[in-house]
């Protein structure tokens, strides 16, 4: 199985990602969020603009993301690590982004979402992180030896 297939299967099999953000002073914050993905590069979630990770994104768009299965036996797990840039989704991108999020929400027993659920007076917003790089552990016995995985090819 190729690394790209393994990486895609990690994303497909999991509902939550860990979103790593930092505030204007560089103080880190990690948050698990339910996500939907488009093309294995764009990750969407909904959140209040008032929570720590959203406030951090407003001042520092660079984020780290990890997707992994925490239920596998010790020594058998594999995670996918991403460097990304995050933002609140607005304007023309909102309709497409909320459609991606809504479709996955429905697949997992959630509700359908519309643009009106995340704009105007609504208390939550849609966010997107666009991954610039994907990597995973090489599993070659060296500690924390990561390899870049290209998810743009089949």
Q: Which helix (H) or strand (E) holds 120?
A: none
The candidate with the shortest Cα–Cα distance to 3, out of 82, 76, 78, 64, is 78
Give pLDDT tens digits for 84-142.
Answer: 999 999 999 999 999 999 999 999 999 999 999 999 999 999 999 999 999 998 777 77
Question: pLDDT tens across 131-145, in order?
Answer: 999 999 877 777 778
Tens digit of pLDDT for each residue in 6-25? Answer: 999 999 999 999 999 999 99
> Which pLDDT belongs to residue 153?
60
Q: What is the average pLDDT across 66-75?
A: 87
Say which residues have a Cβ less than 8 Å from residue 154's Cβ, sequence separation at least 6: 4
């Amino acid at each position: 199985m190729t690394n790209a297939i393994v990486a895609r299967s990690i994303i497909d099999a999991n509902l939550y990602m860990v979103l790593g953000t930092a505030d204007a002073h560089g103080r880190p914050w990690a948050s698990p969020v339910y996500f939907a993905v488009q093309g294995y590069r764009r990750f969407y979630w909904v959140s209040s603009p008032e929570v720590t990770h959203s406030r951090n994104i407003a001042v520092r768009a660079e984020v780290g993301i990890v997707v992994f299965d925490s239920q596998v036996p010790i020594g058998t797990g594999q995670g996918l690590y991403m460097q990304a840039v995050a933002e609140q989704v607005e304007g023309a991108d909102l309709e497409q982004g909320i459609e991606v999020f809504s479709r996955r929400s429905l697949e997992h027993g959630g509700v359908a979402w519309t643009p009106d659920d995340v704009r105007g007076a609504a208390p939550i917003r849609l966010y997107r992180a666009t991954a610039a790089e994907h990597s995973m552990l090489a599993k070659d016995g060296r500690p924390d030896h990561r390899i870049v995985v290209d998810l743009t090819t089949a």
